[in-house]
Structure 1
Amino acid sequence: MTDTDDRTGTVPGRFDGGRGAAAWAVLLPPGRYDAERLVHHDTLELTGLDTPAGATDPTGPRPGDPVVVLTEGPLRLVAVGRVARPTAERREDPDDPQSDPVSGAFVVAYTRRAFDEPVPAEGLALDGPVTALSADAYRALLGLLGPPPARRSWLVSLDLPIEAATPAEAVRLFWSYVRDLGPRELPTFVSPSHDELAMQAFVLGAESNQDPEED
């Protein structure tokens, strides 16, 4: 999402007033919030929903429609995006290449994330994993996010002591450990590019004290 979206208060994406929905609220399944928070993803792909993107229902979500992504316990806004076409799809009518694409996946292309600081969305009523929103409800949720934070350069490092016979083997083992352990178990160290003394350790996507003397 751009600064322009925030300033104008308009609803980005395609809006067909005759369809009765300006945007969509998508509720993350249990456990999915942690997965989206720990590793960066360009898109959110959900399966098994009643109204997948590209469905034949003309009132359902269509590519380009704006989306807000929420998580429960309590209800919080964690991201904004747009409905995107699934990477793998088939046509409603295989004999007609111009027919609408259909897929069992609902895909959202993220335009802004708030996984680190979810915003309470109290009072929003959802009627399932995908809920139609009015333009006013969508704008109200965008207003809760406020302007996007400024981006800056960071140094991110991961140091692992590895026993190996050769440097090449040590590198292979390093990537194996990263793949197998990942952000749930490995501490990652982050600091502003020009202030290494401000380094912080992160585990599970949150700041973690790695100094045993301070525990």
Structure 2
Amino acid sequence: MVERKTSLTKKALQTRRRAKHKKPEFARSESWRYAKLSTSWRRPRGLDHKMRRKIKGWPPTVSTGYKGPKIARGLHPSGYREVLVHNAKEIAVLDPATQAARIAHTVGRKKRGQIIAEARKKKIVVLNAKEIKEETVELETSSEKPDEKPVEEKAKPKKKTEKSKGKTAKDKKGQKSAPKSRTDAEKPKRTGKTSKPSKGAEKQ
């Protein structure tokens, strides 16, 4: 019986997919003409309305025949019926053959890990498990390994080689032998006027 139901649901899902592909987008009449009218569907009520009378060349109206099969209504594309879950206790009630869990977005990181662990035990499909996969792996690794503080390696002091010693000695000698340049303060100041010899001194 279970196999027969699964085959029926698979066929129903295929027909629903085809019907959805064929179904047009039902737009409100005159929404393409006036910006003030939204595209959300409203049934035309005018006596002479061409959409109501279903005249050729006018957009289609909502009517019977566009729906999918009754078995497939409300099902996930995978074939399961979605059930919103908030904790691990709610998973115990689910039927793994027909129902699948979807974790609520308000659930925290810790509870998500517990829900997924419980679902794995009971072989229940979690529809939004891909988003939480990395978080659960981190939780499992942290629970297995104890908290260890990272050991900081002390930087060893570099030993001076013979070459570096020779270079330092040369640098010191160069500093001693280099002549000291006069600073601006030590240089004598030149005045603008030059002293001229007196006339008496020129005659002598």
Q: Assess same fold via TM > 0.5.
A: no
Highest Rg: 1 or 2? 2
Bin of the TM-score, shorter chain as denominator length:
under 0.3
TM-score normalised over the length of structure 2: 0.22
Superposition TM-score, scaled by structure 1 size: 0.21
Q: Name the one with the larger strand percent.
A: 1
More helix, by proportion: 2
The structure with higher relative contact order (CA 8 Å, sep 6+) is: 1
